């Protein structure tokens, strides 16, 4: 399928905003202690505008949907939850533009694989918005609360010990190379006093953190309002007087509001909106390039079904050569996504550059012939019924048709799709299904959830490969970044090529559209669910 054929999908592609429903996180693969400098590493290069030209003002941002909760950390499950709450709640660390974790509330940390410990030294002199102190006791309380919730991201923590007023040590039951970043990313620090005095339900709607802005109000399905924290611990910040998030489910409403100046930015905009607004004077578009916090798209066959053509790795391998990823990104996503043939995006530390599955329909046909399907076969392809996924599935359908695979699309609602792909469901899908996966490059934390007997989604109807499962355990136990990268690249080869358990196509770019006057938000700088409200400015020039 060439670009001309793909053009027919332009009118429908990405008409609805992308709403990520899973808590997205990731792990960098750096095990060295970070620099103690907080300001330099927690945000992108700040603008050279003078403070006089940028101080004050209320930043108004649009989101495609509302939040579900604003605190505590265990309740933050969507990208919107994390972006909104990140205005007032802070974490021990934050991702930089290279996907590496850098200190924020923590001043420093030390990982000790031999002793199975991670020790955090905390910044001092910080208070929560209710006037109580941020200290080791507060950090322990927040980690313990997260563990008690049953969330899986911190599984493997044996104990949290206070070594001093501003020193916390986490004891693991076995070494996990992802744990430092999981703690820093997932545990947004909430005031223990606010929780204990008012209860969890109150805190969910009334977050109390250490951040640059204090919570003011939340009008469900309409807006969340924050005001400047005049006692913020980073001297001279924040620059803004306040931040308001407006919920606008309709992308046209959001872009119209942008153009008339009712809002300053649109977070997580559809690719079509980003394409259109990039042509508007005084507006700019910033796209996530790390993949962190975003959603990957691909296809998966029912390989565990011995009667299915997709039980044959040759057939599964043919899929990867049959789809033109670059064309899909360019035409359907208007360049606001990243083509990939494996988990994560090119340039990430776990990406295997040696895997070559360049678009080659003749190669796909050869593999199908070798598998015993010289004339192809018929199959079903189940996808979510939102416009973006249907457009993607339709494009894939066209590509597969060119190599002889006759695909019938089966569109279902989101509830049924989630049930179909959840491991608790014993009813397998038939043929192909759209593959939604995390765009993060942390294989040890997330890949087992799809490709092992412990899978929570998809894996219950996939062939389980013992060698891959073994490497999942090894990558978690990696003692340094080089070992982690080497093991990860072996996993990528086994999953994407040797066994072709999934066909990876792209990672979404989560476009952020804003006025040129909006500076230093940090949106789409490192992680798709993080930003730097303390640095954000509105230029008067």
- Residue 328, domain CATH: 3.10.105.10
Please state, in angstroms and rounded to a whole number, the distance separating the CA atoms of residues 314 and 373.
10
Q: Are residues 101 and 203 in the same domain?
A: yes
Q: Which two tokens stand for residue 472?
A: 């999942």
Residue 140 clears pLDDT 80, i.e. is over it: yes
Q: Tell me, what's the pLDDT at 51? A: 54
Can you say whether residue 334 is alpha, beta or left, with left for phi > 0 and alpha for psi between -120 and 50 degrees? left
Residue scoring higher pLDDT (209 or 2)? 209
Q: Tell me, what's the pLDDT at 52? A: 58
Q: Which two tokens stand for residue 6?
A: 């793909």
Q: What single DSSP character describes residue 311?
A: G
pLDDT band (50, 70, 90) for residue 65: confident
**pLDDT tens-digit profile of 107-126?**
999 999 999 999 999 999 99
* Mean of per-residue pLDDT scores for the chain: 91
| Length of the chain, in residues | 541
Residue 342 clears pLDDT 50, i.e. is over it: yes
Evaluate the omega torsion of the peptide bond into residue 72 and state whether it is cis, within 30 degrees of 0: yes
152: containing domain = 51-240+510-538
- Residues above pLDDT 90, as percent of the chain: 85
- With residue 483 as reference, give the H or E element that holds it: helix 481-493
- With residue 218 as reference, give the H or E element that holds it: strand 213-219
pLDDT band (50, 70, 90) for residue 478: very high
Please state, in angstroms and rounded to a whole number, the distance separating the CA atoms of residues 82 and 207.
12
Please state, in angstroms and rounded to a whole number, the distance separating the CA atoms of residues 537 and 460.
48
Please state, in angstroms and rounded to a whole number, the distance separating the CA atoms of residues 289 and 98.
9
Q: What single DSSP character describes residue 134?
A: P
Task: Kindly state whether residue 279 falls inside one of the protein's structural domains.
Answer: no
Q: Are residues 321 and 222 in the same domain?
A: no
Residue 451 clears pLDDT 80, i.e. is over it: yes
Please state, in angstroms and rounded to a whole number, the distance separating the CA atoms of residues 171 and 148.
16
Three-state helix/strand/coil letters over 53-110: HHCCCEEEEEECCCCCCCCCHHHCCCHHHHHHHCCCCECCEEECCCCCEEECCEEEEE
Q: Tell me, what's the pLDDT at 17? A: 32
Task: Kindly state whether residue 272 falls inside one of the protein's structural domains.
Answer: no
With beta carbons less than 8 A apart as the criterion, state whether 354 and 405 touch: no
Q: Are residues 514 and 462 in the same domain?
A: no
Q: Are residues 313 and 433 in the same domain?
A: yes
Please state, in angstroms and rounded to a whole number, the distance separating the CA atoms of residues 21 and 418.
11
Strand partners, 457: 422
Task: Kindly state whether residue 43 falls inside one of the protein's structural domains.
Answer: no
Task: Kindly state whether residue 325 falls inside one of the protein's structural domains.
Answer: yes
Task: Kindly state whether residue 247 falls inside one of the protein's structural domains.
Answer: no
Coil/strand/helix, residue 112: strand
Task: Kindly state whether residue 263 falls inside one of the protein's structural domains.
Answer: no
- Residues above pLDDT 70, as percent of the chain: 89
| Interval 410-427 mean pLDDT | 87
Q: How far is CA 219 from CA 205, 222, 245, in A?
A: 10, 5, 10
With beta carbons less than 8 A apart as the criterion, state whether 258 and 248 touch: no
> What does the DSSP assignment read for 26-43?
------SPPPS-STTTSS
Please state, in angstroms and rounded to a whole number, the distance separating the CA atoms of residues 458 and 451.
8
Q: Are residues 502 and 532 in the same domain?
A: no
Task: Kindly state whether residue 246 falls inside one of the protein's structural domains.
Answer: no
Residue scoring higher pLDDT (65 or 33)? 65
Q: Tell me, what's the pLDDT at 47? A: 59
Q: Tell me, what's the pLDDT at 428? A: 80
**pLDDT tens-digit profile of 278-325?**
999 999 999 999 999 999 999 999 999 999 999 999 999 999 999 999
Q: Tell me, what's the pLDDT at 541? A: 66
Domains in the chain, number: 2
Residue 43 clears pLDDT 50, i.e. is over it: no
Q: Are residues 433 and 528 in the same domain?
A: no
Q: Are residues 207 and 235 in the same domain?
A: yes
Coil/strand/helix, residue 298: strand
Q: Which residue has the tokens 């006025």?
A: 515
Q: Are residues 177 and 142 in the same domain?
A: yes
Q: Are residues 321 and 192 in the same domain?
A: no
Q: Tell me, what's the pLDDT at 460? A: 85
Residue 10 clears pLDDT 60, i.e. is over it: no
How buried is residue 84: exposed, middle or buried, by Cβ count under 10 Å (0-12/13-18/19+)? Answer: buried
Residue 272 clears pLDDT 80, i.e. is over it: yes
CA nearest neighbour of 521 among 511, 509, 535: 535
Q: Which two tokens stand for residue 489?
A: 């690249």
Q: Are residues 476 and 515 in the same domain?
A: no
Q: Rounded to 5 degrees, what angle do the CA atoms 530, 536, 541 make?
A: 145
CA nearest neighbour of 341 among 352, 330, 331, 332: 352
Reported in sequence order, the residue ranges of 248-400 that DSSP labels E, i.e. its strands, are: 265-267, 283-286, 295-301, 337-339, 377-384
> What does the DSSP assignment read for 135-185?
SHHHHHHHHHHHHHTT-STTTTEEEEEEEETTEEEEEESS--TTHHHHHHH
Q: Are residues 376 and 518 in the same domain?
A: no
- Residue 152, domain CATH: 3.40.190.10
Q: Are residues 459 and 350 in the same domain?
A: yes
Task: Kindly state whether residue 142 falls inside one of the protein's structural domains.
Answer: yes
First to last CA, the chain: 47
Q: Which residue has the tokens 């802005």?
A: 213
Q: Tell me, what's the pLDDT at 540? A: 83
- With residue 426 as reference, give the H or E element that holds it: none
């Amino acid at each position: 399928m060439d670009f001309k054929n793909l053009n027919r999908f332009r009118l429908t592609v990405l008409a609805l905003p992308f709403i990520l429903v899973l808590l997205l996180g990731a792990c960098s693969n750096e095990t060295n202690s970070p620099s103690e400098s907080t300001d330099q590493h927690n945000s992108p290069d700040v603008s050279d505008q003078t403070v006089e030209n940028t101080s004050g003002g209320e930043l108004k941002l649009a989101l495609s949907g509302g939040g579900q909760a604003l605190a505590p950390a265990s309740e933050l499950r969507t990208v919107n939850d994390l972006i909104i709450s990140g205005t007032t709640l802070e974490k021990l660390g934050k991702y930089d533009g290279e996907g590496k974790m850098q200190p924020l509330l923590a001043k420093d940390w030390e990982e000790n694989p031999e002793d199975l410990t991670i020790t955090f030294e905390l910044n001092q002199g910080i208070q929560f918005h209710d006037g109580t102190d941020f200290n080791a006791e507060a950090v322990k309380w927040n980690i313990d609360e997260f563990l008690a919730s049953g969330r899986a991201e911190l599984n493997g923590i044996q104990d949290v010990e206070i070594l001093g007023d501003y020193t916390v040590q986490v004891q693991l039951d076995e070494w996990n190379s992802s744990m430092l970043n999981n703690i820093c990313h997932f545990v947004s620090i909430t005031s223990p006093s606010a929780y204990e005095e008012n209860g969890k339900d109150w805190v969910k709607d009334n977050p109390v953190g250490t951040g640059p802005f204090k919570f003011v109000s939340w009008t469900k399905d309409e807006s969340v309002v924050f005001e400047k924290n005049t006692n913020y611990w980073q001297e001279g910040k924040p620059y803004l007087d306040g931040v308001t998030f407006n919920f606008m489910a309709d992308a046209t409403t959001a872009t119209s509001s942008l153009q008339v100046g009712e809002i300053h930015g649109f977070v997580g905009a559809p690719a079509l909106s980003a394409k259109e607004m990039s042509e508007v004077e005084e507006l700019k578009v910033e796209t996530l390039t790390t993949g962190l916090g975003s959603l990957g798209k691909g296809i998966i066959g029912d390989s565990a079904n011995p009667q299915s053509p997709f039980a044959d790795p040759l057939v599964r391998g043919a899929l990867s050569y049959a789809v033109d990823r670059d064309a899909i990104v360019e035409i359907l996503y208007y360049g606001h996504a990243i083509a990939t043939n494996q988990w994560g995006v090119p340039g990430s530390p776990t990406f295997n550059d040696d895997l070559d599955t360049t678009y080659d329909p003749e190669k796909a046909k050869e593999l199908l012939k070798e598998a015993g399907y010289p004339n192809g076969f018929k199959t079903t392809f189940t996808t979510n019924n939102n416009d973006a996924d249907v457009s993607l599935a339709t494009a894939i359908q066209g590509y597969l048709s060119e190599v002889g695979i006759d695909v019938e699309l089966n569109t279902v609602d989101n509830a049924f799709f989630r049930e179909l792909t959840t491991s608790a469901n014993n009813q397998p899908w038939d043929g192909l299904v759209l593959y939604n996966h995390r765009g993060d490059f942390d294989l040890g934390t997330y890949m087992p959830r799809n490709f092992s007997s412990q899978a929570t989604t998809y894996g219950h109807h996939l062939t389980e490969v013992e060698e891959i499962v073994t490497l999942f355990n090894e990558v978690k136990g990696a003692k340094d970044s080089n070992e982690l990268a080497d093991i990860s690249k072996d996993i990528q080869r086994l999953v994407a090529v040797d066994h072709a358990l999934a066909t990876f196509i792209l990672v979404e770019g989560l476009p952020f559209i804003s006025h040129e006057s909006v500076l230093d938000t940090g949106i789409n700088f490192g992680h798709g669910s993080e930003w730097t409200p303390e640095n954000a400015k509105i230029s008067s020039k």
